[in-house]
Structure 1
Amino acid sequence: MPSSEDPDNWAFQLSLFEHFPTLIWRSGADARCTYFNKTWLDFTGRSLGQEVGDGWTMGVHPEDFDRCVSTYLEHFTVRTPFEMEFRLRRKDGNYRWILNTGRPLYDQAGEFAGYISSCIDITDRRNTEAELRERETRMRTLLASMGEGVIMRDAGGVLLLHNVMAEEILGLSAEQMKGWDIHNKLITYLDEEGEPLAPSQTPAMQALSTGLPQSGLLGLDRPDGGRRWLWTNSVPLFYDHSDERRGVVTTIADVTARRDSEEQLRLALTVFRNSIEAIIVTDAQQRILSVNQAFTDVTGYTSAEAVGQTPRLLHSGHHDRSFYEAMWRDISINGFWQGEIHDRRKDGTLYPAALSISTVRDRSGRVTHYVAVFSDITERKASEARIAFLAQHDPLTGLPNRTLLQDRLDQSLAQAARHGSRIALLFLDLDRFKTINDSLGHMVGDRLLQGVALRLSACIRETDTVSRQGGDEFLIVLTDIKAPDDAARVAEKILDKLCPAFEIEGQQLATSFSIGIALYPEDGECAETLMKNADTAMYHAKEEGRNTYRFFDEVMNVNALERLHMENALRRALDQQEFQLYYQPQVNLASGRIIGMEALLRWFSGTLGGISPAHFIPLAEECGLIVPIGRWVLFEACRQARQWQDRGLPPVPVAVNLSALQFRRADMVATIREALEAARLDARWLELELTESLLMQSGTEVEATLRELKALGVRMSIDDFGTGYSSLAYLKRFPVDCLKIDQSFVRDLTDDPDDAAIVRAVIQLGRSLRLEVIAEGTETPDQLDFLRNEGCSAAQGYVFSPPLPADAVTELLRIGTLPAAPIIPC
């Protein structure tokens, strides 16, 4: 396996892994598993979708779960190879022992990319090892039952005679034992600590040396490499009627098994005491004989409090009688039970536990003990519940997500079809949520969405469903409605509930919904159609001014298709050079001299023909295309202004409208500086038209940007003045040069006293603040006379000239003045 990742190499490896007889899996750099080969999936009987992420851990034996996961995560943290054994559930429900070997992967840049791991089934090997241990134990018992080995040596330590048991204990053949001198190196002797022992220090030679019987534990390493521990009794032999020692007789008993057993018992006791899982040992009558420290940690009962009691000490009352009867029936028949149970701690609190109970029988098959092993799985159950919740709910608001909404909608549609009832599907979109998110940050936006979710939930019945689809979109399913009016009342209730502003981090945030409503069965008989039609109705509500609701009808569907075609064409318009700038002159009312040109965007689509700016500009704002389009307008207007000057025409400022979205997303100072430098245009010949809404939503950053722009030398005007908040405060804060009176006031100023009063007030305001005032949409001589009489400094409109292509405007600039007479638009 290569240490670095290569996409082609990895694809080749995947094709190989699919045919490997071993189980292969791979995880990513986030520790989540992303690949399992076919051998793994055939083994577990689960799909790849069920196994990826941490789904594979569902097949790990509960007793091995914590150890398995913690081992993996520990090695993942330090990125080192690992090897571990655990039990994995096979598709037939049986658990098999798995040897899992993993190693870290690194990509071509040397960055850690995850783990690749192979697994083999070692169940048979483990069973074989267990069987071999059993056979060895039986053999030791058999050897011990055959008596002791007997060895006789002469006074020099040379073997005189022995029995067969001695051969077996010492591991020597009869031929090897003939004339065996204890001082040769046929066997290495050991003291009780396992250290080498000189032959002269063995009990047999000590008996010869002292003339006294000697006994003790003796270890030896046999020629076959095996080590044995012997209990020896050595008695010196004397000649008759003499103190002269003729030899020594030694009996040996192989106590290796007993010594190992004692070690195993000590080891088992250590495991019992230090196990992280709680353990209970009872007698056949279920009286507790022993518990470990983990039992006390989990239950709160000390060993003194538990011993002598029965496990009923932990009963919670959560399970009925039949549960325990079934459990003990399995224990009686199979000798084992495993499952989940709810128990009660000493302090009275309940907890879930993963429990296994095993029966211990003596040689005659009589039950002698029961061993129960359990662990507190409260955290694991909570984690599983959380994972299950997040799979079907939005993590931010806690509302049902798209998956759960689809399931509930399908169920509601099926029930409505059976009973002949109606369903309403409401598609809701927060108005201007992107503005809040972009200007105040995503954290504030998230808080707003949470508040909106709470208010929405308060507007529906328990049988209805409100779901967040993502972003600022919500769906509501209203079941069993009697008439469309029922859905309308809910929509009105939602709009009313959302009316009060939200207070978030000391700010008052007002928002509203645009709501589209589709009805079953009138507007669709399947979930997909209802969602599409409700979405269409929602866009219709936005077009109607937002903060309202609309029902779906076929006309809306046609409009939605037209809007889709227009958006697709708009995305290609820049590349296909379908945009063109028209220019409308701004005229000084006192002299008739042209004092400026406003650049106005026109779109001549190759497929849709000429399209009104009133249609495509809002669409460009909504889909974000206004940013690149606005950049093109800025560069083109600067280029044209410079071209007119290069032709020797009188220089005049060219006014360009700036979108609020363009202002927020682009680095305007850098963009405008770049446009001026690219056209070699002096900044004083560029005027930026800003909307009132942009200025009212501005913070300190926008204010600083405007001052930087002013420092470049560009002019700034407030477009459509009077249609927004018209606050006087920002006129002091922002460095503007001009107010442009919106044409909606100019149009009726000779007929509507209110419009006349507004225009008169704006003109006076501008004069007081020493600002130039331009009246947009001036179309008649009567309007022109009114504006002159009130002291308005300039105007633009059809009374002078409609917007014209650059070539047509060139002639007007050469003349320099315009008569006050209507001109037919071309």
Structure 2
Amino acid sequence: MSLFDHLPALIWRSGLNAKCNYFNQTWLNFTGRSFEQEFGDGWTTGVHPEDFDRCVSTYLEHFAVRTPFEMEYRLRRHDGEYRWIIDTGRPIFDADGEFVGYIGSCLDITDRRNTEAELRERETRLGTLLASMGEGVVMRDASGRLLAHNVAACEILGLSSDQLHDWSALETLITYLDEDGTPLEPNNTPSARALRSGLPQAGMLGIDRADGSRRWLWSNAVPLFEDDDPAAPVRGVVTTIADITVRRTHEEQSRLAWTVFQNSVEAIIVTDADERILSVNRAFTDVTGYTAEEAIGQTPRLLCSGHHDKAFYEAMWRDINIMGFWQGEIHDRRKNGTFYPSSLSISAVRNKVGRVTHYVAVLSDITERKASEARIAFLAQHDPLTGLPNRTLLRDRLDQALASATRHGKRIALMFLDLDRFKTINDSLGHMIGDRLLQGVAQRLTSCVRETDTVSRQGGDEFLIVLTDVDVPDDAARVAEKILDLLGPPFDVDGQQLGTSFSIGIALYPEDGNSVELLMKNADTAMYHAKESGRNTYRFFDEAMNVNALERLHLENGLRHALAQEEFQLFYQPQVDLMSGRIIGVEALLRWFSGVMGGISPARFIPLAEECGLIVPIGEWVLGTACRQAVAWQDAGFPPMPVAVNLSALQFRRSDIVASVAAALAASGLDGRWLELELTESLLMQSGPDVSATLARLKALGVRLSIDDFGTGYSSLAYLKRFPVDRLKVDQSFVRDLTDDPDDATIVRAIIQLGHSLHLEVIAEGTETPEQMAFLLREGCSAAQGYLFSPPLPADAVTGLLEAGSLPATPIRPL
């Protein structure tokens, strides 16, 4: 036992009778009592009276069943102070397994309990402080984990406590805004900047909350450091947020009021209760000729013309004093002595007790106002560019036409016209040329209809025509044909000959609808079908179009979210050397696997992506993905090979394609010579005079250029010489029937010979049979792609083919 005497813990032991028969020296030193005094039950005299029953009963209960125990109680120290100890007791058994008593050890935990109590009290005070604060408080660690927050933070942010804990979900619940209301990235908020820089950050922050409301906050973020040492790593950030929406609204209203005051087209005068001028706006000087310095301190009698008698002014002030307001016409005199009629309104401004403190007068030259009213009345019902009726006037006339047709049992036709490819003209030649073209179109349209009909511009390149008293649908068809014929000759706009056409949709009353909304909707639907039918034509509405329109809308909505939801995938179709069967390249082909609609054919979604402009971001994604995959194959040890990517005409025209390609190459690390860009003949011929310069810049990046679907477009030797292309791709429509159709065989043979003559590579698309392959080999075509070798495959499947080194199809030697 002498070893126990030197241990820092208080040691005790009891026998079979549950009486303590040993205490180590540390225990005796702690209590200041002798062994004889502690022996047996004597030690219990040092237990705090409040803990005595619990302590003894716990000991006896465990002793009775011979199980370990652990308990906390207060024990009197030799200096009379009660100290908290934790007492751990364990039963003792002899070599035969017989129970012989208990041994226990005690540690003084007073300081720990005091510290815990202090921390609990501090947390309670902090919680009370946070709960009582009007400002929101949010504390997060460096990884974004929520450490503390108060109720005010939840109320200001419009989030529950659980939502506030889920840091990753906040971006979907809250949109951050800068002071101008522009969306702000989450990593640019004061909290994120404070974490990143280690410096306090403050500023105004807007949020669009999950409930749809917008709040403006003043956010103050202070970084927290390890051991409060600014040189140490940042371990978190405390952010306070105050809702200043009301204050900002008041400030904006004040600024708006001042802006309105200064920039109002009407002259405004503010006087004190004694009618002394305190302030005037710029329009006052424009109308009267008096500067603000000349007017301030004077009274409005400065403008008196002498035209009105005393009774006029007495009646005016009687209304102001009784009703607080007067409005009417008055003759005033400018600084240069000229007279002018003006419209004048005077308002009395009263304080809370009803006493007049100011007068506000608003006046304007009535001649200018009448002219403005006439102009506004016209613009309210007419398109300012063409002078045609606008939506408002068209709606009114269409309502009248429907009412008249209903009364008299007549038919009317509503024609929805969309100018084909107008955006191309606008983008390439500028809006001024586009506006002049629209004016010319409006004049020709007006000449196609009767005075009782209405031609309206809806905005952009859309027009509506209401034809009244239509006896039979052919009457509307004849007008549509007349419009198409009249639009045929090109327009001379500033010396440029601009050709255009219309896609026209026609809806008839009562067959296709008996309301304005339904007729416009159905005419619009018919117009889209005219576009899909090749443009420069017209279509009458029928119910099947509605079904197609809904399907198209559903497809477009899905397409707008497909990129963000990672529903696109690239498949790759191998390109094969016909002599060896070796894979010499792949073509990247876009596939869409919608989570809602399943797999969707490229023939359905790519034209739609072109039409709604989504092909540009989708095309950039394809470029980047294809380049990364090419690098991945090279990193896996496969020989470098070109990956071909199709470029759409819209992508070529509307984006900086050179910058996009350069960015894709740089981001992936792919050498430009292993990227092949496929362009159509129509793209090369219709993209404007700068296409050669663009292609030269692309070639400067090292990329390969090929002409896709060769033979279906212009197939001109002139442009082949002008553009720096490397390869011709024979369109599959010729390859498909070349063994059965002599004409197709002749075309393919000519393309191959043309490519050889111009030192261009030639590859045949759509190769599906050994007979086709044999023909291509005989004619000297060196490469092909198609289902004979492999369908388009996911990247992993292509990797398996690359590991095999060649494709299953056996090369056929030419005879």
Q: TM-score, normalised by structure 2?
A: 0.58
Corresponding residue for residue 650 of structure 1: 639
Contact in 1 for aligned 2:288/2:333 (Cα 8 Å)? no
Q: What residue number does 1:581 align with?
A: 570
Residue 698 in 1 paired to residue 760 in 2? no
Q: Distance in 2 between matches of 1:80 and 1:739?
A: 81
Q: Residue 486 of structure 1: CA displacement?
A: 1.2
2:630–2:643 CA contact under 8 A, matched in 1: yes
Residue 748 of structure 1 is matched in structure 2 by 737
Q: CA deviation at 1:744?
A: 2.1
1:75/1:723 Cα in 2 relative to 1: closer, same or farther (>3 Å)? Answer: farther
Instruction: Find the aligned partners of 2:747 and 2:385 in 1 and give their Cα distance.
Output: 47
Alpha-carbon contact 1:656-1:688 (below 8 Å) kept: yes
Aligned match for 1:566, one of 543, 546, 555: 555
Structure whose alpha-carbon radius of gyration is higher: 1
Does the aligned pair in 2 maintain the 1:799–1:821 contact within 8 Å?
A: no
Q: Deviations over 1:494-550 (max 9, x none)?
A: 112222222333333222211111111111111011111111111111122222111
Counterpart in the other structure of 1:497: 486
One-letter identity of the residue aligned with 1:809: V
- Structure 1 counterpart of 2:260: 27
1:351-383 CA distance string (max 9 Å, x none) = xxx9xxxxxxxxxxxxxxxxxxxx998876554
Q: Please state if 1:536 is matched with 2:525.
A: yes
Unaligned ranges ≥5, structure 1: 18-23, 36-65, 88-93, 101-119, 128-267, 279-337, 340-353, 355-374
The DSSP-based 3-state class of the residue aligned with 1:410 is helix
Shift of 1:96: 8.6
Equivalent position of 1:145 in the other structure: none
Deviation, structure 1 residue 31: 4.0
C-alpha spacing 1:577/1:397, structure 2 compared with 1 (3 Å): same
For residue 70 of structure 1, what is the aligned residue in structure 2?
286
Could you tell me which of 788, 792, 800 is aligned with 1:803? 792
Please give the alpha-carbon distance, in whole angstroms, between the structure 2 residues aligned to 1:398 and 1:477: 16
1:67 deviates by 8.6
- Pair 548,589 (structure 1): closer, same or farther in 2 beyond 3 Å: same
Counterpart contact for 2:488–2:500, Cα < 8 Å: yes
Per the alignment, residue 552 of structure 1 pairs with: 541
Q: What corresponds to 2:156 in structure 1?
A: none
- Matches of 1:790 and 1:13, distance apart in 2: 80
Find 1:429's aligned residue among 406, 418, 428.
418
Q: Is the 8 A contact 1:97 1:122 kept in 2?
A: no
Q: Conserved in 1, the CA contact under 8 Å of 2:582 and 2:805?
A: yes
The within-5 A match list for 1:165-244 is none
- The answer (yes or no) to whether the contact 2:287–2:334 under 8 Å persists in 1 is no
Q: Distance in 2 between matches of 1:77 and 1:401?
A: 45
* Cα distance in structure 2, aligned partners of 1:444 and 1:591: 56
Aligned to 1:689: 678
Cα deviation, residue 414, structure 1: 0.7
SS at match of 2:706: strand
Give the counterpart letter for 2:338 in structure 1: I
Q: Provide the secondary structure at the position in 1 that maps to 2:806.
A: coil
Correspondence for 2:663 = 674
Counterpart selection for 1:276 from 322, 338, 348: 338
- How far the C-alpha of 1:431 sits from its partner, in A, is 1.6
Going from structure 1 to structure 2, the CA distance change for 1:673 and 1:603 (only over 3 Å counts) comes to same
Aligned residue runs from structure 1 range 437-516, under 5 A: 437-516=426-505
Aligned to 1:664: 653
Contact 2:264 2:283 in 1 (8 A): no
The AA in structure 2 aligned to 1:547 is N
Query: Cα distance 1:441–1:639, how it changes in 2: closer, same or farther (>3 A)?
Result: same
| Equivalent residue number for residue 766 of structure 1 | 755
Does residue 717 of the first structure (1) align with residue 706 of the second (2)?
A: yes
Correspondence for 2:189 = none
Q: How does 1:99-114 map to 2 (within 5 A)?
A: none
Please show how residues 251-650 of structure 1 align to structure 2 within 5 Å: 275-277=337-339, 382-650=371-639
- Check whether the contact 2:653–2:687 (CA below 8 A) recurs between aligned residues: no
Counterpart-to-counterpart distance in 2, 1:502 and 1:77 = 56
Q: Quick check: 2:288–2:334 contact (8 Å CA) kept in 1?
A: no
1:594, 1:399 → 2: CA distance?
62
Rounded Cα–Cα distance in structure 1 between residues aligned with 2:590 and 2:293: 58
Q: Counterpart amino acid of 1:551?
A: F
- Are 1:96 and 1:123, in contact at CA under 8 Å, matched by a contact in 2? no
User: Against the structure 1 CA distance between its residues 512 and 745, is the aligned structure 2 distance closer, same or farther, given a 3 Å change threshold?
Assistant: farther
User: What is the aligned length?
Assistant: 524
Match of 1:794 in 2: 783
Pairwise CA distance, 1:386: 2.9
User: What secondary structure does 2:588 align onto?
Assistant: strand
> Residues 763 and 792 of structure 1 are in contact (CA less than 8 Å); yes or no, is this contact kept in structure 2?
yes
Contact kept in structure 2, 1:642 and 1:680, CA below 8 Å: yes
Q: Residues 70-105 of structure 1: CA distance to partner in whole angstroms, max 9, x if unpaired?
A: 349997999999996899xxxxxx9999999xxxxx
- The residue type equivalent to 1:276 in the other structure is T
For residues 410 and 431 of structure 2, the distance between their equivalents in structure 1, rounded to whole angstroms, comes to 41
Cα 1:29–1:459 shift into 2, 3 Å: farther
**How far is 1:8 from its partner?**
3.4
Alpha-carbon shift at residue 123 of structure 1 (Å) = 9.8
Contact 2:572-2:798 within 8 A present in 1 as well: yes
Q: Which SS does the other structure have where 1:27 is aligned?
A: helix
The TM-score, its normalising length taken from structure 1, stands at 0.57
Please report the RMSD computed on the Cα atoms of aligned residues, expressed in angstroms.
4.2
**Residues 98 and 423 (structure 1), Cα distance of their counterparts in 2 relative to 1, 3 Å cut:** farther
Cα offset for 1:589? 2.4
CA distance in 2, matches of 1:776, 1:744: 9
Measure how far apart 1:488 and its partner are.
Answer: 1.3
Rounded Cα–Cα distance in structure 2 between residues aligned with 1:677 and 1:14? 46
**1:388, distance to aligned residue in structure 2 (A):** 2.3
Contact 1:722 1:741 in 2 (8 A): yes
Gaps of at least 5 residues in structure 2 are 1-215, 217-243, 269-281, 305-310, 344-363
Give the Cα–Cα distance (whole angstroms) in 2 for the partners of residues 432 and 620 of structure 1: 16
CA contact (8 A) 1:626 1:659 kept: yes
Shift in Å at residue 777 of structure 1?
1.6
Closer/same/farther in 2, CA of residues 815 and 126 from structure 1, 3 Å limit: closer
